[in-house]
């Protein structure tokens, strides 16, 4: 249920564009020859790469396309353009987030029928230039976030997100204006205080 805001919003986009939520690697990375024949991994939306385990030994062999990728479960950052082979147990699976991606997640829930507004955490992965995410509730926008990084600063705008949080994964900032800030290990957690908020962080 944690990924429900992201997955639901992907479903809305699919209903409007016809582009599937679960899409082949070749569809998302047309110019990467290595992606043309991959049939044991896929993109879930345009940001998440999943590589299910198909053997009893728990061995996974998969390909990360060019760019920076962050493991959703562990926070490990890796450069793409390489094949990876690794062992996984019952509680892990290769699940990677593409650079310049924002994954909307639920902060607390008891079932899949909760209100997204004020109950979300936007997780920002490997922000290098700019990123954007839209969250839908029903057929309407519940919240929208835009971020831009340049010259040692991150500027952002959140609409419809009072009470939500923005987690900069593997990114520690020195100060922030327009939001409250808390450093948690290698992450920075920003809390949006207003329904329509602009903010800026200094790295």
- 29-43: per-residue pLDDT in tens? 999 999 999 999 999
Triad 80, 130, 101: Cα angle to 5°: 50
111 has a pLDDT exceeding 60: no
Closest C-alpha to 21, from 48, 51, 3, 52: 48
> What are the angstrom distances between the C-alpha of 19 and each of 28, 42, 140, 182?
10, 14, 19, 38
DSSP code for 197: E
Give the tokens for residue 155. Answer: 């500027």
Give residue 91's pLDDT.
87
In the chain, DSSP assigns E strands to 22-23, 42-44, 48-50, 59-64, 68-71, 77-79, 82-87, 95-98, 101-106, 120-125, 130-137, 140-150, 153-159, 165-168, 175-177, 179-184, 187-192, 196-202
pLDDT band at 112; cut points 50, 70, 90 = low
Q: Which range, of 62-66, 113-117, 137-141, averages the lowest pLDDT?
A: 113-117
181 has a pLDDT exceeding 80: yes
Give residue 148's pLDDT.
97
100 has a pLDDT exceeding 80: yes
Tokens 């929208």: give the residue.
Answer: 144
CB 79 within 8 A of CB 108: no
CB atoms within 10 A of CB 154: 24
168 has a pLDDT exceeding 70: yes
Give residue 57's pLDDT.
92
116 has a pLDDT exceeding 70: no
Closest C-alpha to 142, from 168, 114, 123: 114
Report the predicted TM-score, pTM, of the whole model to 2 decimal places: 0.92
SS3 call for 16:
helix
Output the furthest CA–CA distance in the chain (Å, rounded).
Answer: 50
Non-local CB neighbours of 59 within 8 Å, separated by 6+ positions: 53, 85, 86, 87, 88
Q: Which range, of 56-70, 74-88, 141-155, 158-172, averages the lowest pLDDT?
A: 158-172
pLDDT band at 10; cut points 50, 70, 90 = very high
């Amino acid at each position: 249920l944690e990924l429900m805001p992201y997955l639901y919003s992907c479903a809305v986009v699919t209903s409007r564009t016809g582009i599937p939520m679960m899409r082949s690697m070749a569809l998302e990375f047309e110019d990467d020859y290595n992606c043309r024949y991959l049939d044991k991994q896929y993109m879930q939306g345009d940001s998440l790469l999943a590589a299910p385990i198909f053997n009893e030994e728990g061995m996974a062999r998969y390909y990360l396309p060019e760019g920076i990728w962050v493991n959703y479960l562990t926070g490990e950052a890796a450069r793409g353009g390489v094949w990876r082979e690794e062992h996984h147990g019952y509680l892990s699976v290769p699940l990677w987030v593409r650079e310049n991606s924002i994954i909307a997640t639920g902060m607390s829930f008891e079932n899949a029928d909760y209100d997204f507004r004020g109950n979300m955490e936007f997780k920002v992965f490997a922000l290098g230039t700019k990123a954007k995410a839209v969250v839908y509730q029903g057929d309407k926008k519940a919240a929208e976030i835009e971020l831009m990084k340049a010259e040692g600063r991150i500027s952002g705008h959140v609409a419809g997100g009072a009470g939500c949080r923005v987690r900069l994964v593997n990114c520690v900032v020195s100060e922030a204006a327009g939001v409250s800030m808390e450093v948690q290990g290698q992450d920075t957690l920003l809390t949006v205080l207003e329904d329509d908020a602009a903010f800026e962080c200094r790295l």
